[in-house]
Amino acid sequence: MWDIGIPFANPGAMPKARLAFAVPVAVALTAFVGCSSDGAADDVGVSQDLLIVGAGFEKDVTVFDDRLELPRAGHDDALRTPAGKLLVGGPSQIDRNPHGFLRRAAGVRVVGDTIVIDTGRPVITDVFHGSARVGVDGASGGDATTMATSGTLRPAGWASKVGGLLKLPAELMLFSAVVGYLDPVKQNQKFDVSVKLAGGSFSFQPKVNTDVKLKSGELDHLLVSAEGQMEGDLEIDVDVKAQGTLDTTNGGLLRPMRIDKRLVEWHPVHSLQFIGGVPVWETVELALALHCDIALNGEAKGKIFMKVAADGIYGAEYRKNTGWSSIKKEPDLDASGSHIEISQMGTADVKCSLEPQVALLVYDLAGPTLAMGPYANVHVDEKTRAWSLQPGFRADVGVLIAFANHQVGSERYDIVDVPLGSPFTGTY
């Protein structure tokens, strides 16, 4: 359910407003939008430099970081795009334009049969002055038509389409390299290291809640949270073999290995709202990432099985006057199906986390990102031939980087990072 924070005098007219903007490029590129708020009590205004492109432009454009490309056939009017204008377009059903775009034109050129519009990246406050607000409340239901009569556009229930069940790739190589010891005495000892994902599944359909409020050209309020039940299982295979004949494999640790792998992505979910008469496209994306830190002593061969179920609320809130605060309901974590199988292993420390990542974009401007999920912290001791597996849960949120001129910070904000329950132990 989207809360745009701006009343409309006639909510029922909004579908017609969308049709008015889906005009041919010839018209869209020779007109500009300079309207103020739809309600007299609002202080939102729209840049006079704004050009809203038509459906044909959106369908054919290829969006790059520094330019927009169009086939020249049927789009000669785009050659008249004035430098300095803000171009706004919605997403298409193809990967060339997955989120829509907000760009400032820097110049137009022709390369063969392609029109290239060189662009820079503006921020949302270049489009809207005064106050503007975007957000989604996926935890609420209700009938969209009934709720629209209250004066705000709230497409209810769309956020429930985020996520679902995923099968993880089988036999996916996560790390493969020849590495040596940190210990200078052991620098002549080399090992073939292989870490692979051997399959699994993950299910998560979060209720996503976001709120981004801009006021006087600055970020006034930011909220991002997700709640819901996640269930996952995966198998990670570790295989470390010595190169050549070694007198001993003891002493010194293998160089710590960091694995960051985005395993799979769910289909993004789009929604449209209008601010000051301007179509604003938002996208919520959900992906699944695997993070592992591994340090091993000697040769190793084993399997790590993570089988977890977690339920909770995870998020963070930023207010201009008070800074960050956590939003959390400590997760209920069931990791009873997690274990390890060891064929051969020296001393080892392995920490792997399985993280769903929620990202909000307005057009193609990156906004807040939320990462949360269970982890397993494994320690293997070759002297006692014992192992332990400590389950835990972590969550953090990324800073807002492209909504306003006011920068919140450059680091991630930690929400929670805690071990949960007693460790599982065993011998080999």
Strand bridging mode 323-334 / 300-319? antiparallel
Average pLDDT score over the chain: 77
**Contact criterion met (CB below 8 Å) for 314 and 416:** yes
Tokens representing 55 are: 């459906």
DSSP summary character for residue 222: E
Contacts of residue 101, Cβ cutoff 8 Å, sequence gap at least 6: 61, 63, 68, 87, 88, 89, 363, 364
**Percent of the chain whose pLDDT exceeds 70:** 77
Compute the average pLDDT of residues 195-201.
91
Please determine, for residue 138, whether its predicted confidence score (pLDDT) is greater than 70.
Answer: no
> 97 vs 58, 69, 102, 134, 267, CA distance in Å?
7, 11, 12, 21, 14
- What is the reported pLDDT for 409? 52
Q: Tens digit of pLDDT for each residue in 63-108?
A: 999 999 999 999 999 999 999 999 999 998 778 998 999 999 999 9
Model confidence pLDDT, tens digit, residues 9-43: 222 332 222 222 233 222 233 222 323 333 333 57
Contact yes or no for 21/33 (Cβ under 8 A): no
Q: Tell the burial category of 262 from Cβ atoms under 10 Å away from its Cβ (0-12, 13-18, 19+).
A: exposed
Query: 343: how many CB neighbours lie within 10 A of its CB?
Result: 11
Which amino acid type is present at position 359? A
Q: Lowest mean pLDDT: which of 18-27, 49-58, 294-303?
A: 18-27
CB 9 within 8 A of CB 267: no
**And the tokens for 376?**
């397993």
Are 400 and 219 in contact, with CB atoms under 8 Å apart? yes
Cβ contact 344:299 at 8 Å:
yes
β-strand 114-120 against 101-111: which pairing, if any?
A: antiparallel
Task: Find out whether 220 and 211 touch, Cβ atoms under 8 Å.
Answer: no
Asked if the model's pLDDT at residue 151 lies above 60, the reply is no
Query: Between the CA atoms of 79, 81, 84 and 87, what dihedral angle is there, to the nearest 10 degrees?
Result: -120
- What CA–CA distance (Å, rounded) separates 319 from 185? 53
Contact 53, 24 (CB under 8 A): no
Query: Would you give the DSSP letter of residue 423?
Result: P
CB atoms closer than 10 angstroms to residue 17? 15
